[in-house]
Amino acid sequence: MSISFEGMMKIGLLSKSSENYSNSRILEEAQNLGLDIIHIDYTNCDLILNNEKPDILYNGQSLSGLDAVIPRVGIYKSIYGMAVLRHFEAMHVYSLNSSLGIARARDKLRTLQILSKKNLPFPNSAISNDSLNASKLLDKVGGTPVIIKLTEGLQGKGTVLAETKQSAKSIIEAFGLTNTSLILQEFIKESIGTDVRVFILNGKVIGSMIRSSNGEDFRSNLHLGGEAKKVKLTPREREIAVKAAKEFKLNVAGIDILRSDNGSLILEVNSCPGLEGIEKAMDKNIARLILEFVVSEVEKVKSKPSYHKRTHL
Ligand code: ADP
């Protein structure tokens, strides 16, 4: 089916800043496609709540005429960012990923619970809200070495590897002071310093790369200096990545996988995967594919007879 870009579809890129690689690429490609795109800093959105016609004001102007939003809500003021996204949904503005999918993926505890419930493979894990209890859970995840994570970690910074029981206890104690809950996780030593990122769009794999730390670090995050190369997935990896995106209800997702001796395991589900590593590793215009998908989804919605009866679009 050919996609028409006539009639200037109006899209909002919902993010704090417009300046990182992913956001700049989305803005650039939207312009190449002749779409009318604006960057919306969600921290400057005011929400109007009533029973008839909810609205969002941005610098005093109503955003009710938008056709779609591409949410890229980061950690800064994320609770407010998510409220803005839910408000767009209440206004029947199409969102690339739903607030439900994003909320599921960004909560590490909820992620593990969903993976477990949906029979998706992941490293053995235990969660505790209390550092005294957490020390007693080491045996439940196979003893040491063990991975200890803060539930609010980001880009690898809240994830540590404890080699011995003694160091695990000290780290748990120190993390306990941060007042967040902890995840203890089986350390997948075979995958040390590497993980596989599978990029899913609309239920299909559109890219996959292997990331490696550039040194001794057990973490492969690109933000910590790791590097990425295109990689061929096994059929099982494709299957679990597609299933994970589906179960989390994400149209766009970055599924992180660790290759263990007992098969590939899902480490994380990202609802807002970065574009830089994957576009470069695949040499592929992923920003354009995402925008084409948004356009075709909005056109589908608009072609339904019920669309014209709506008052909020
Ligand atoms: P963040 O969400 O902050 O990126 P992750 O939980 O994804 O933190 O961990 C960061 C990196 O640490 C991963 O990309 C992976 O390389 C490594 N890592 C995390 N958990 C494990 C594990 N259980 N076994 C082996 N390596 C791991």
What mean pLDDT is predicted for residues 167-184?
Answer: 89
For a substitution probing ligand 1, which of 198, 223, 224, 258 has the most ligand atoms within 8 Å of its CB? Answer: 258
Query: From atom 9 of ligand 1, which residue's Cα is the shortest distance away?
Result: 156
Question: What does pLDDT average to over the chain?
Answer: 91
Query: From atom 23 of ligand 1, which residue's Cα is the shortest distance away?
Result: 187
What mean pLDDT is predicted for residues 297-307?
Answer: 85
For a substitution probing ligand 1, which of 267, 270, 271, 272 has the most ligand atoms within 8 Å of its CB? Answer: 267
Can you tell me the distance from the alpha carbon of 108 to that of 153, in angstroms, rounded to the nearest whole number? 9
Can you tell me the distance from the alpha carbon of 126 to that of 148, in angstroms, rounded to the nearest whole number? 10
Cβ–Cβ under 8 Å, residues 298 and 68: yes
Check pLDDT > 80 for residue 251: yes
**Amino acid letter, 171:** I
Can you tell me the distance from the alpha carbon of 143 to that of 148, in angstroms, rounded to the nearest whole number? 12
Can you tell me the distance from the alpha carbon of 266 to that of 158, in angstroms, rounded to the nearest whole number? 18
**Amino acid letter, 304:** K
Cβ–Cβ under 8 Å, residues 239 and 119: no
Distance of CA 308 from the midpoint of ligand 1 (Å): 47
pLDDT at position 309 is 53
Tokens of 298: 């909005």
For residue 191, give the ligand 1 atom closest to its CA.
25
Strands 94-95 and 68-72 turn out to be parallel
What mean pLDDT is predicted for residues 133-149?
Answer: 91
Tokens of 7: 């009639």
Can you tell me the distance from the alpha carbon of 295 to that of 184, in angstroms, rounded to the nearest whole number? 42
pLDDT at position 188 is 96
What mean pLDDT is predicted for residues 63-69?
Answer: 95
Check pLDDT > 80 for residue 311: no
Check pLDDT > 90 for residue 70: yes
pLDDT at position 131 is 81
For a substitution probing ligand 1, which of 219, 255, 271, 272 has the most ligand atoms within 8 Å of its CB? Answer: 219
Percentage above 90 pLDDT, the chain? 75
Residues 6+ apart with CB under 8 A from 17: 23, 41
Query: Pick the residue with more confidence: 283 or 150?
Result: 283
Check pLDDT > 90 for residue 215: no
Tens-place pLDDT, residues 5-29:
456 789 999 999 888 999 999 999 9
For a substitution probing ligand 1, which of 146, 217, 221 has the most ligand atoms within 8 Å of its CB? Answer: 221
Distance of CA 301 from the midpoint of ligand 1 (Å): 38
Q: How confident is the model at residue 34 (pLDDT cuts 50, 70, 90)?
A: very high
Tokens of 114: 């969903």
pLDDT at position 312 is 43
Check pLDDT > 80 for residue 217: yes
Q: Nearest-CA neighbor of 290 among 20, 23, 92, 15?
A: 23
Q: How confident is the model at residue 1 (pLDDT cuts 50, 70, 90)?
A: very low
For residue 187, give the ligand 1 atom closest to its CA.
24
Check pLDDT > 80 for residue 153: no
**Which helix (H) or strand (E) segment is 175 a member of?**
helix 165-176
Residues in contact with ligand 1 by the CB-under-6-Å rule are 123, 147, 149, 153-156, 158-159, 185-188, 191, 195, 218-221, 256, 258, 267-268
Cβ–Cβ under 8 Å, residues 264 and 115: no
Q: Let me know how long the chain is.
A: 313
pLDDT at position 110 is 95
pLDDT at position 179 is 80
Can you tell me the distance from the alpha carbon of 140 to that of 234, in angstroms, rounded to the nearest whole number? 29
How many C-beta atoms lie closer than 10 Å to residue 158's C-beta?
18
The three-state secondary structure class of 55 is strand
Distance of CA 304 from the midpoint of ligand 1 (Å): 43
What mean pLDDT is predicted for residues 272-299?
Answer: 97
Query: Pick the residue with more confidence: 132 or 294?
Result: 294
- Residue matched to tokens 């494709």: 238
Distance of CA 156 from the midpoint of ligand 1 (Å): 6
Cβ–Cβ under 8 Å, residues 31 and 5: no
pTM for the whole structure: 0.93
Distance of CA 207 from the midpoint of ligand 1 (Å): 20
Distance of CA 219 from the midpoint of ligand 1 (Å): 6
Tens-place pLDDT, residues 258-271:
999 999 999 999 99
pLDDT at position 302 is 85
Distance of CA 198 from the midpoint of ligand 1 (Å): 15
Cβ–Cβ under 8 Å, residues 96 and 290: yes
Distance of CA 70 from the midpoint of ligand 1 (Å): 27
